[in-house]
Amino acid sequence: MTTLRNLPSVEGLLQTETTAHLIARFGRPLTLDALRKTLDDIRARFKRDPEISLPSIESILAQAESTLSAWTAQTLHPVINATGVILHTNLGRAPLSDATIHAMDIVSRGYSNLEFDLETGKRGSRLIHAESLLQKLTGAESALVVNNCASAVLLTLSALANKKRVVIARSQLVEIGGGFRVPDVMKQSGAKLVEVGTTNKIRISDYASALEEPTSLVMRAHRSNFKIIGFTEEPEFVDVVLAAHQAGVYVVDDLGSGALYDTAKYGFTHEPTVQESLQAGADVVLFSGDKLLGGPQAGIILGKKILLDKIKKHPLARAVRADKSCLAGVSATLSHYLKDEAEREIPILRMMSLTLKQVQGRAEAWRMELGQGAVVSGESTVGGGSLPGESIPTFLLELKVSSAEKFLRELRKNNPPIIARTENDKILLDPRTVFPEQEGALLVALNNLLKR
């Protein structure tokens, strides 16, 4: 009769050659945990059903290895983005340039002068890194890089408007991805929110009335992820700045996306640029590093030195500071703009710059390689909370399959996973967001699935 006494002990399993290999791969403590868990699971199953046969030692060790592989498996994987959404938030937003990747890699491999002054041999400041590049690019007096734009907003308001009034248009009390709400951030910073105007109508007189009382800041939160259309009215930003400055109040402009180039040149509507905000008189401008800038995740604060000095000295600045890899990556990305090579080197700008003929040619090549499908016209979007509702023409490879949802699921199981979209039960793949070096893996996966 089979009993649990026939089950090998952990000590016995440790004597096997297979376990020695597992320890070499996964380490002794974790291997011991996996062996104990496997034996506990077997005991639990046996107690529920004493009639079952106990597994062999080989089977026990195979189960333990499977557990170890699951415990140590990476959950973050590179994927092929064939959706046509250039800044896909769920897929990590902006892919980085080769120079940016190299800069982040090399500064992370060893030590760096992150907070060391090579000139004096004494302690330096991490705040100087990337600042001169931002000053040169935008003309701002001072700049600071933090870990993301939400942090930039919270830090700026905490440093400049704690327990003070901040005037903002009611139409700009937005919520972006992940439930990040401007009113909640303002409350967290200690600022006193003063709403002006209505959801669809804001006049300069609304600002003027609010500024009759002592006020710390006027803030604009750019609606980068939605539009208000129809019966609307909103003053020009330059007029808002003028009204604020006449009242002796500073203006903070949260641009969100942070374009340095005019997006109209790529066929989209014009997105306010960082330079335009400063030229309009904004005292502090906030924007993201991983959206239209095309760099790593970061929040960038720039503007008047007198205000940036306060922001840099605030205790929260340490909590949201950028690390060495972020600073290296932002600096490398900014250098592309300084050297007038951004459209060639930064992936998202390269994607937006592709001509229809280039995209069509790649889609046709895919169709010929697969021997099936059709090349159809479609639209690519920016995504990532930028340019809401905007798209540019593209060409798509359209595939007819028996079950679009099943096909998408199988694509996601591929190594690397492939993310596509479906419409009218057809699979659509957009070459605009697929890197040329990924085409081989994409076509192999498609060929294999289509032959099933």
Domain boundary among 294, 319, 345: 345
Residue 360 structural domain = 80-88+348-450
Shared domain for 340 and 358, answered yes or no, is: no
CA atoms in the 13 A half-sphere facing the CB of 327:
23
Please indicate, yes or no, whether residues 251 and 120 belong to a single structural domain of this protein.
yes
Residue ranges of E strands in 319-446: 374-383, 386-400, 418-419, 421-423, 426-429
Task: Give pLDDT, residue 2.
Answer: 64
- Quote the pLDDT of residue 247: 95
CA 34, 35, 39, 42 torsion-angle sign = positive
101 and 145 share one domain = yes
SS3 content of the chain, % helix, strand, coil (to 5): 50, 20, 35
Q: Are residues 310 and 164 in the same domain?
A: yes
Beta-carbon contacts of residue 141 (< 8 Å; ≥ 6 apart): 135, 303, 304, 305, 308
Q: Along the chain (452 residues), what's the average pLDDT of each consecutive run of 10 residues?
A: 79 94 96 96 89 89 96 94 94 96 96 93 93 96 95 94 91 67 78 84 90 93 65 84 96 91 89 94 96 96 97 96 97 97 96 96 97 96 74 95 95 96 95 97 96 84
pLDDT given for residue 178 in this prediction: 58
Q: Tell me, yes or no, whether 353 and 341 share the same domain.
A: no
Q: What angle do CA 195, 198, 202 make, to 5 degrees?
A: 90
- Domain identity same for 289 and 199: yes
> What b/e readout covers 241-268, taking b as 16+ CB neighbours within 10 angstroms?
bbbbeebebbbbbbbbbbbbbebeebeb
- Is 411 strand, coil or helix? helix
- Give residue 186's pLDDT: 77
CA of 441: how far to CAs of 46, 350, 403, 418, in Å?
45, 21, 22, 9
Judge if 369 and 443 occupy the same domain. yes
CATH assignment of the domain containing 438: 3.90.1150.180
- 306 lies in the same domain as 355: no
The pLDDT value recorded for residue 257 is 85
Say whether both 126 and 267 belong to one domain.
yes
pLDDT at 418: 97
User: Of the candidates 72, 105, 122, which is a domain's last residue?
Assistant: 72
Q: Domain holding 214: CATH number? A: 3.40.640.10
* One domain, residues 128 and 272: yes
Please tell me the predicted confidence (pLDDT) of residue 230.
61
Place of tokens 């790529």: 266
Distance CA(424)–CA(398), nearest Å, equals 11
Same domain, 357 and 296: no
Number of domains in the chain: 3
**DSSP per position, 188-219:** HHT-EEEEES-SSB--HHHHHHHTTS--SEEE
In this prediction, residue 404 carries a pLDDT of: 95
> Using CA atoms, how far apart are residues 167 and 164, in angstroms rounded to an integer?
10
Q: Note whether 194 and 116 are same-domain residues.
A: yes
Q: Of 283, 314, 345, which residue constitutes the final position of a domain?
A: 345
Sheet with 386-400, side-by-side order of all strands: 374-383, 386-400, 426-429, 421-423
Question: What is the structure's pLDDT at 189?
Answer: 84
Secondary structure, 3-state, 338-363? HCCCHHHHCHHHHHHHCCHHHHHHHH
The pLDDT value recorded for residue 53 is 85
Asked whether the CA dihedral 73, 76, 78, 82 is positive or negative, the reply is: positive
